[in-house]
Structure 1
Amino acid sequence: MALSGKLTKKLVENLGAGRHGDGNGLYLVVDPSGARRWIVRVVVKGSKNKKGAPLRTDFGLGGADIVTINQARERALEYRRMAKQGLNPRFNAEREIPTFEEFAQQVHIERMPTWKNVKHGQQWINTLRDYAFPKIGRMPLDSIDQPEVMMCLAPIWTEKHATAKRLSQRIKTVLDVAKSKGFRSGENPVTGVKDAGALPKVKAKPKHHKAMRWQDVPAFYADLKTRNAMAAKALMFTCLTGSRTGEVLGMQWGEIDFGARLWNCPEERMKGGVVHRVPLTYEMLAIIEPLKALKSDYVFEGQKRHKPLSNMAMLMLLRRMQVDGVTVHGFRSTFRDWASEVANASREVAEMSLAHKVGSDVERAYARSDLLEKRQVLMDLWSHYVSGETAKVLQLGQR
């Protein structure tokens, strides 16, 4: 027979921040963040506070998203019975502690609205699936300590250091959330492993994308202009703008202001999470304006109607052109080298053209300008150079 109380399932789901009593010492606690958890307040027989009065103690029963209202009532009753017998529930209760894998999957679902994109969210759980679940997935959350964390991290710490660092961050997140919902106590073992220096220091090697020499770009671009494939047009535009693949392929017509010659790339597609204004040159406009006739949602439409070009299309084009040792992302490095070595552009203008953050947080707080006018001049120079208009490069360079 189910136990009764003041709260209902609907109230549990909708009550605002605060502590809401169900009766018999059971409370639903709703944090300002919206997180919901159960606690029970009991007096363990014989326990006293500093003044000699009976000591009331709160015990966590788990998150309301995992522990139902009836389960919470049953556990609260169990805790009250133990307290009357002089037994401390913290050490005597038989709690249903979720396994690491069960709880990690729940954390992943809860955080889905916060992921920058679906791919990032899938990578988050995949890292745990590949390197943590086989080792500690079936273990209860409260039994995971430093040896178990080491068991996951040590095998890949030096060989796949970047992956291992992401894995440690994600294990830590799962265990931190578990503690906040009453399934763990004490220090996070990931923090303990780090503070103890238990894993060797690994010097990270910078990863460079293979890039074309800027001297070779005009000939390559001339070859691209002879091709009619959508991938060729997208690659031309990518080369001229110095933008990332995802930024270009996700571009929709509403982002383009033809009158102002501007492309406003929205924050959800930007790595830095901030809207980026890209000045459009006449060469760039010559690429995209004819594509309006397709009346697609996307500027660079793929094989499926109103769907963007595949993110592998430009790389496959490079392979068909037998351009070895070059990646699409590498054209950003090509532009950056040219801007420094040929255009003598300032670091701030060159970096902002690539949507890189410049300076410290404090400096960026005061530097509100995105240097659009200066970036327009630099992009005009780059467009004329890439398209082989040397005379115009010299003319602009003398301004």
Structure 2
Amino acid sequence: MAALSGKLTKNLVRTLGPGRHGDGSGLYLVVDPSGARRWIVRVTVKGQRNREGKPLRTDFGLGGADVVTLNQARDRALEYRRLAKQGINPRYNGRQEIPCFEEIARQVHIERLPTWKNPKHGQQWINTLAEYVFPKIGRLPVSEIGQPEVLQVLLPVWTEKHETAKRLAQRIKAVLDVAKSKGFRDGENPVMTIRDARVLPQVKQRVQHHKAMHWKDVPAFYSELATKDAMAARALMFTCLTASRTSEVINATWAEFDFIEKHWIVPADRMKAEQEHRVPLTPEMLAIIEPLRMLRSQVVFEGQKRHRPMSNMAMLMLLRRMNIQGITVHGFRSTFRDWAAEQSDVSREVVEMCLAHRIGSEVELAYARSDLLNKRRGLMEDWSRYVTSSTETPSHAL
């Protein structure tokens, strides 16, 4: 049967602002402040009463306006009204096309791809759901997923792989929140209910630090490293001297370097704290990178492909080839911090700023206008001289 006409039009469905907009006969378009649009129908079930003894009047979600057209919403609303008029609760008898969890999850993944810092994060997001969630509840309609279904996913990994389980919980919550905004489910998110009720066992996490080389061993190691001709060796030497993260070094471009003022400006979108970071360049650092300018690559430390950075595993694999076991590239940041604590008289604040760590409360950060570049330059110069103290010859070009 054809859908009934009403007050709304296709154009109004697309353009109306936040609020509840009636089409007539109990059908409403609900526009959330976020801009999400969904359909609901309000019906009174004949002969049925609520807890207060009044006629049973209920709102039912009919789906998001981005997937359910105006005419489809009117058809579904008409069906719900007919059921209610016969004394049948539409919640248990209405015909509604509810997508499954996996369908909504994959759509969320596509919609959020532009928001991740790099494609790898987006792929990890969907991969964990595909591995742990889809096999168990992926084909269930999102409207049918409650606490038992969420616990079915989380309990087996909650204690053994706690970090993974926490990420799963966050991602399941996000998918169900989107499903609700599209009108496919109602009520509280079961992930939040489980968290608030403390249903899952408490897990005491052990902080795992990156394995670091003792600072007393660094000069000898650096001296051996300086004899290597590989680009990974140049990158690792620069990483040691700057106490930078692997991703910051391998993705560095020449445009980030000021050779007049002698500092490297790492843009905010490549920093963990999402704030621009200036690294003072010492003579030892410049001796590593200046010869590389002759390669005329867009990146400082070029990998196997022209104008493309090396793999993020290249420096770690170099350590393994040098038979340096149990040490990570990231650990050199800890090595620098330990050396600074024991061998320098600078404040902790200066050391933490060298590592691009956020320090202090939000109020203190709001008033911190200086990055203490000059003080940090002195410390980095001392560190560079110490690290290269056993190196007989200066760093050379490839």
TM-score for both structures, normalised by structure 1: 0.87
How far apart are the structure 2 equivalents of 1:11 and 1:322?
A: 68
Deviation per CA, 1:39-60, whole angstroms, max 9, x where unpaired?
Answer: 34556668999xxx99986542
Distance 1:220 1:2, change over 3 A: farther
2:216 pairs with 1:218: no
Distance 1:55 1:212, change over 3 A: same
**Deviation of 1:235 (Å):** 0.6
The 8 Å contact of residues 7 and 21 in structure 1, kept in 2 or not, is answered as no
Q: Any idea what SS the aligned residue of 1:316 has?
A: helix
Residue 315 of structure 1: aligned partner:
316
- The one-letter code sitting in structure 2 at the alignment partner of 1:15 is T
Residue 245 of structure 2: aligned partner:
244
- The one-letter code sitting in structure 1 at the alignment partner of 2:203 is V
The 8 Å contact of residues 214 and 337 in structure 1, kept in 2 or not, is answered as yes
How far apart are the structure 1 equivalents of 2:214 and 2:2?
A: 74
Equivalences for residues 143-162 of structure 1 within 5 A: 143-162=144-163
Judge which range, 309-318 or 182-191, deviates more: 182-191
Show structure 1 runs of 5+ residues with no match.
Answer: 391-399
How far apart are the structure 2 equivalents of 1:253 and 1:313?
A: 20
The 8 Å contact of residues 247 and 265 in structure 1, kept in 2 or not, is answered as yes
Residue 204 of structure 1: aligned partner:
205
Residue 235 of structure 2: aligned partner:
234
How far apart are the structure 2 equivalents of 1:210 and 1:190?
A: 35
- The one-letter code sitting in structure 1 at the alignment partner of 2:141 is P
- The one-letter code sitting in structure 2 at the alignment partner of 1:72 is A
**Deviation of 1:25 (Å):** 5.3
2:135 pairs with 1:130: no
Judge which range, 37-46 or 137-146, deviates more: 37-46
Residue 396 of structure 1: aligned partner:
none
Q: Structure with the greater relative contact order (CA < 8 A, sep ≥ 6): 1 or 2?
A: 2
- The one-letter code sitting in structure 1 at the alignment partner of 2:205 is A
Residue 333 of structure 1: aligned partner:
334
Deviation per CA, 1:298-348, whole angstroms, max 9, x where unpaired?
Answer: 111111111111111111111111111111111111111111111133221
Residue 285 of structure 2: aligned partner:
284
How far apart are the structure 2 equivalents of 1:266 and 1:4?
A: 56
How far apart are the structure 2 equivalents of 1:372 and 1:38?
A: 56
Q: How many residues align?
A: 385
Candidates 3, 6, 9, aligned match of 1:7: 9
Residue 120 of structure 1: aligned partner:
121
How far apart are the structure 1 equivalents of 2:205 and 2:334?
A: 20
- The one-letter code sitting in structure 1 at the alignment partner of 2:17 is A
Judge which range, 40-49 or 231-240, deviates more: 40-49
Show structure 2 runs of 5+ residues with no match.
Answer: 392-398
RMSD: 2.7
Distance 1:105 1:85, change over 3 A: same
**Deviation of 1:80 (Å):** 3.5
2:257 pairs with 1:256: yes
Distance 1:273 1:43, change over 3 A: same
Equivalences for residues 21-32 of structure 1 within 5 A: 26-32=27-33
Q: Any idea what SS the aligned residue of 1:278 has?
A: strand
Distance 1:230 1:2, change over 3 A: farther
Distance 1:15 1:48, change over 3 A: farther
How far apart are the structure 1 equivalents of 2:188 and 2:57?
A: 25
How far apart are the structure 2 equivalents of 1:324 and 1:63?
A: 55
